[in-house]
Every structure is written in structure tokens, then in C-alpha cells.
Amino acid sequence: MTKFTVPARGEVSESNQAILDNLQKGLGFVPNLYAYYAKNETALGDYLALQNRKSTLKTKEREAINLTTSQINGCAYCLAAHTVLGKMNDFTDEQIVELRRGSASFDDKLDALVKFVASTISNKGKASEESKQAFFDAGYTEANMIDVVIVIGDKIISNYIHNLTGFEVDFPAAQPL
């Protein structure tokens, strides 16, 4: 079995060391996912640029997308990280579990969003007409739809990297469903 490891700071390029140093200052630690990206000369900076781009979506909406996507893709790392981030964005444990299951009975607009996300992922970009209509009826726009797909893509990148490598999860494990 191939063993994948997270590189130490001194094992990556100087430009990636600078990014890792900024993450350390800002977050208080460097998540293993980000450190792993630093094995590639440009991936860490590219990924952070994608993740931190301006969006028409609110932070809570992006977290709902991240949780739904990570659950569908079975990524233990991203489920753990986004459970922590979900709590930081005022989702309760129960709401996080519900979002992971692809619904949000506690908020009609988020419910339409996560059902659209789940349908989009499950159908490889061909969301059901019902989920699209509910998404737009909830007040989302085509600009929002583009941002939803970008957030899904961002999370799929992380999900696949961890699912391929299985490096250590450095967040508290998300409860199993």
C-alpha cells in the first residue's frame, strides 16, 4: 500500500514556506491538507486563491455546500474540518448532521441550496429540474449558481486529494452518520 505523508516546512519550496508561515500566523497551525498541497510548487497558492475568492454566497452557505459535498464524497478530512468551521459559523451539531444528509429543515433557503448541491453532485452536474427550480424559487440567481459550482469544485479537489492519500486528519473527527 502506498503511504502518503505530509511534508515538514523544510521539505517544501521557499515560496510555499512563506505561505505556510502565513497560515501558521493566521490560523495558529498549518492544516495537513494545506501542507500536503505544498508538495506541489503552485498548488497551495492556487488552491488558496480559489478558496478565498470573492463570492456571491455567504459564509454559512459555503459551509453548507462544503459539508454536503464532503459527505457525498466520503472525505473524513473535510468532514472533520468543516464540522469545526460549521460550528464557528453558528451551526449546531444537529444542523451540521442534517446538512451532511443533504437537507436543512431549519432554513428553507439553505434547504433548497443543499438539495440543489446534492442533486448536482449525484447527477454529475445535471441537477434535477425540481432542485434547480427550488434553488431559484428560494431567491438564488444564476450568479449564485456559478458560485455554488465553484465551491463544489473547490471541495471536490480537497475531497479527492484526501481520499487518494489518506494522510492524518488533524481536526476532531466528524461523528458518523
Q: What are 99-131's pLDDT values in tens digits?
A: 999 999 999 999 999 999 999 999 999 999 999
Residue 153 included in any domain:
yes
82 and 106 housed in the same domain = yes
68 and 37 housed in the same domain = no
pLDDT of residue 116: 98
- Asked if 86 and 79 count as a contact pair (C-beta separation under 8 A), the reply is no
19 and 99 housed in the same domain = no
Q: Which three cell numbers stand for residue 86?
A: 460549521
pLDDT of residue 166: 96
- How many domains in the chain? 2
123 and 86 housed in the same domain = yes
Residue 76 included in any domain:
yes
Residue 175 included in any domain:
no
pLDDT of residue 148: 98
- Per-residue pLDDT averaged across 128-145, rounded? 98
pLDDT of residue 1: 80
The dihedrals phi and psi of 156, each to the nearest 5 degrees, come to: -60, -40
Range of the domain at 29: 9-51
Residue 2 included in any domain:
no
Residue 166 CB contacts under 8 Å (≥ 6 apart), including other chains: 4
101 and 65 housed in the same domain = yes
- Per-residue pLDDT averaged across 61-76, rounded? 98
149 and 69 housed in the same domain = yes
Residue 46 included in any domain:
yes
40 and 80 housed in the same domain = no
17 and 91 housed in the same domain = no
Q: Which three cell numbers stand for residue 128?
A: 434535477
Residue 106 CB contacts under 8 Å (≥ 6 apart), including other chains: 95, 98
Residue 36 CB contacts under 8 Å (≥ 6 apart), including other chains: 4, 6, 7, 161, 165, 167
Share of the chain above pLDDT 70, in %: 100
Give this prediction's pTM. 0.96
Give the count of beta carbons closer than 10 Å to the beta carbon of residue 116.
27
43 and 125 housed in the same domain = no
CATH of the domain at 133: 1.20.1290.10
Q: What's the rounded Cα separation, in Å, for the pair 112 and 137?
A: 9
Share of the chain above pLDDT 90, in %: 99
75 and 31 housed in the same domain = no
pLDDT of residue 121: 98
